[in-house]
């Protein structure tokens, strides 16, 4: 079953518990949490403190996307805060293999994300260690950007790489996903779809999520 992971970056934080309840009853599969530090990306967002609050407000798995420098210093805090999946950027570390092991030793599923300009070959030698591969279809930093079409080619390559290895990784796409383009990303081979503005900017979350699921069924 393909999954929808709404990004709370576009949620109303004055009523975060209600927003989480709303996506849970709208049949979201994960909660995507965008962590930005103002260094790896030009924006500052959420830390472990908020992840811990989200953990207490929903039973959905927490899909935590770290867009930070020195991720090895912080993965333990995010694991303790209740993350189910921790995804790090390949561009943010010199020792990706070691960092993946560190995340798994914390009892959390490990993901790796690639910026639009980073080739898929970057993760070829760690693919079997991964629980999730995240292809960025925008440059990370902000919600509400447009889908970069070349991401489709990279999703296809990632699909092939996963299927021709012993990897059980889910293939996730993040950035500019909406009802009108989700099918193309799904046909390219993605399993999990992050959607921020398309879900939280809509009037009816359940209607939007079910329209997305109908496109990828
Ligand atoms: C971008 C984030 C995305 C973003 C998605 O850096 O990683 O998760 O919030 O937002 P939309 O779906 O609006 O592009
Ligand atoms: Zn994200």
CA atoms of 155 and 120, how far apart (whole Å): 9
Using CA atoms, how far apart are residues 11 and 166, in angstroms rounded to an integer? 37
The token pair that represents 214 in the structure block? 């109908």
| Position in ligand 1 atom list of the atom nearest CA 144 | 13
Pocket of ligand 1, candidates 8, 31, 44, 145: which has the most ligand atoms within 8 Å of its Cβ, to mutate?
145
Answer yes or no: are the C-beta atoms of 164 and 124 closer than 8 Å. Answer: no
Per-residue pLDDT, 37: 98
In the prediction, which pLDDT does 144 show? Answer: 97
Which ligand approaches the C-alpha of residue 193 most closely? 1
* Active-site pick, 34, 63, 131, 191: 34
Which residue among the candidates 29, 131, 174, 191 is catalytic per the annotation?
A: 174
Cα–Cα distance measured from residue 34 to residue 7, given in angstroms and rounded to the nearest whole number: 7
The secondary structure of 124-160 as a DSSP string is: GGGGGG-SEEEEESS-TT-SSPPP-TTHHHHHHHHHH
Query: What is the H or E stretch that residue 162 is in?
Result: helix 151-163
Q: Assess whether 34 carries a catalytic annotation.
A: yes
State the ligand closest to the CA atom of 42.
1
Q: Which atom of ligand 1 is nearest to the CA of 32?
A: 8
For the chain, list residues with pLDDT below 50: none
Please tell me the distance between residue 74's alpha carbon and the centre of ligand 2 in angstroms. Answer: 17
Task: State residue 29's pLDDT score.
Answer: 98
Dist. CA 164 → ligand 2 center (Å): 26
- Cα 63 to ligand 1 centre (Å): 13
Q: For residue 177, which ligand has an atom nearest its CA? A: 1
Distance between Cα 87 and ligand 2 center (Å): 9
Q: What is the pLDDT of residue 9?
A: 98
Model's pTM, two decimal places?
A: 0.98
């Amino acid at each position: 079953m393909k999954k929808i992971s709404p990004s709370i970056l576009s949620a109303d934080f004055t009523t975060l518990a209600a927003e989480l309840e709303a996506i849970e009853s709208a049949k979201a599969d994960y909660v995507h949490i965008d962590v930005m530090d103002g260094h790896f990306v030009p924006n500052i967002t959420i830390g472990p403190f908020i992840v811990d609050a989200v953990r207490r407000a929903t039973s959905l798995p927490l899909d935590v996307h770290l867009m930070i420098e020195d991720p090895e210093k912080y993965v333990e805090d995010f694991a303790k805060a209740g993350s189910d999946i921790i995804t790090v950027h390949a561009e943010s570390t010199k020792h990706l293999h070691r960092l993946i092991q560190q995340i798994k030793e914390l009892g959390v599923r490990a993901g790796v994300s690639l910026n639009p300009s980073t080739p898929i070959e970057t993760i070829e030698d760690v693919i079997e260690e991964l629980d999730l591969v995240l292809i960025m279809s925008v440059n990370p930093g902000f919600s509400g950007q447009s889908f970069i079409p070349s991401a489709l080619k990279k999703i296809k390559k990632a699909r092939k790489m996963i299927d021709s290895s012993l990897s059980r990784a889910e293939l996730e796409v993040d950035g500019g996903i909406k009802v009108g383009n989700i099918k193309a990303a799904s046909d390219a081979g993605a399993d999990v779809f992050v959607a921020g503005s398309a879900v939280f900017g809509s009037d009816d979350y359940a209607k939007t999520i079910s329209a997305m699921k109908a496109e990828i069924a």
